[in-house]
């Protein structure tokens, strides 16, 4: 069901402009971010053809059709679910998110998310900036990624933290298990990331387009012996925070993360591998990625804070198995 529909014709002064910029100028009541979401979701047509790229050029005489869907009425229920709280005060909450848990409700998944748990734990003491579906959520990590996230309990803290993320001043480190060994063992990946041309649900390194994405990495340990394919435990520090950044960059580097079904490579069979290790790897049903630490300035006190989240059981056991097998 549609809420509203717009038809806009490209005139000479906008010939050659980006699609999202043209629409932003012509439909001022809708934010550019919202327009970009509508483009990605297939609600924009150019000359009766659906366009998915925000940077697509528009030309003189093009007819743009913009459909605004009616927002679904949603009521997010508080759920009494276990939350591993690392720290809490009147302004923020730090949570060590378990793997296989979604941060906030979305299409087809409105219960048992971190937000549902926060609504039960914090009552109404969460920021409203993110709207009904994302109260308190300043940033997020993927469902299958574990580790630390910070949540805002009021709008003041939310705005302050959001600016720190925008300014790239927040220190974020991750640990991951990847195939092979990185060369060099310590370095920086500076490669733009944008939506994949082949699959709009995924991201990819884009040489011509995309947003700046920088990942600093270092090898912590390399697991290898005659009965074990080479696997590395690495630490990554983000200078930027693009969607799936580490997963995309590691795949681009040629060292995809173990268990990553979207950006990884099929590694189900090996010529030489310990049977126990092979079973442990194949039973690891998610990407081996953990948000290890988060450092930032407290939004109200100005104090520098730093939090570390212990690795979840499945990740820790896989590391122990690899360590034992490589001795």
CB atoms within 10 A of CB 254: 12
State yes or no: is 144 an active-site residue. no
In whole angstroms, give the CA distance from residue 98 to residue 114: 10
> Rounded to 5 degrees, what angle do the CA atoms 126, 102, 307 make?
65
Backbone angles phi, psi at 142, to 5 degrees: -60, 155
DSSP string over 186-250:
EEEEE--EEE-SS-TTSEEE-SSSSB--EEEEEEEEEEEETTEEEEEEEEEEESS--TTHHHHHH
CB atoms within 10 A of CB 261: 10
Handedness of CA 281, 286, 287, 291 (dihedral sign): negative
- Distances in Å between the alpha carbon of 238 and those of 51, 93, 147, 235? 31, 21, 15, 10
Given the residues 37, 62, 89, 142, the one annotated as active site? 142
Distant-in-sequence, close-in-space partners of 301: CB < 8 Å, separation ≥ 6: none
R_g (Cα) of the chain, nearest Å: 22
- Distances in Å between the alpha carbon of 126 and those of 117, 151, 245, 257, 299? 12, 8, 28, 34, 14
* Residues carrying an active site annotation: 142
């Amino acid at each position: 069901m549609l809420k509203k529909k717009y038809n806009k014709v490209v005139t000479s002064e906008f010939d050659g402009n980006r699609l999202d910029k043209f629409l932003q100028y012509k439909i001022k009541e809708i934010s550019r971010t919202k327009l970009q979401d509508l483009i990605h979701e297939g609600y924009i047509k150019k000359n009766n053809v659906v366009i998915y790229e925000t940077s697509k050029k528009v030309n003189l005489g093009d007819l743009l059709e913009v459909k605004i869907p009616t927002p679904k009425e949603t009521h997010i229920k508080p759920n009494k679910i276990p939350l591993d709280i690392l720290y809490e005060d009147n302004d923020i909450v730090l949570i060590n998110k378990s793997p296989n848990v979604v941060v906030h409700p979305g299409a087809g998944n409105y219960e048992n998310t971190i937000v549902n748990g926060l609504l039960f734990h914090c009552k109404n003491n969460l920021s409203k900036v993110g709207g009904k579906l994302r109260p308190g959520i300043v940033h997020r990590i993927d469902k299958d990624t574990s580790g630390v996230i910070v949540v805002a309990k009021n709008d003041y803290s939310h705005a302050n933290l959001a600016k720190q993320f925008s300014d790239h001043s927040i220190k974020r480190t991750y640990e991951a298990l990847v195939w092979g060994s990185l060369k060099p063992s310590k370095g920086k990946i500076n490669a733009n990331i944008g939506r994949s041309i082949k699959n709009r649900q995924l991201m990819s390194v884009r040489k011509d387009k995309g947003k700046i994405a920088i990942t600093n990495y270092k090898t912590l340990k390399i697991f290898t012996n005659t009965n074990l394919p080479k696997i590395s435990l690495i630490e990554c520090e983000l200078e930027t925070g693009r969607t799936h950044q580490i997963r995309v960059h590691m795949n681009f580097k040629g060292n995809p993360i173990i268990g990553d079904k979207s950006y990884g490579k099929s590694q189900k069979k090996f010529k030489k591998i310990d049977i126990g290790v092979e079973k442990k790897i194949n039973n690891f049903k998610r990407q081996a990625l953990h948000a290890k630490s988060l450092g930032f300035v407290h939004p109200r006190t100005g104090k520098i804070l730093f939090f570390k989240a212990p690795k979840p059981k499945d990740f820790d056991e896989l590391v122990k198995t690899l360590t034992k097998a490589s001795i």
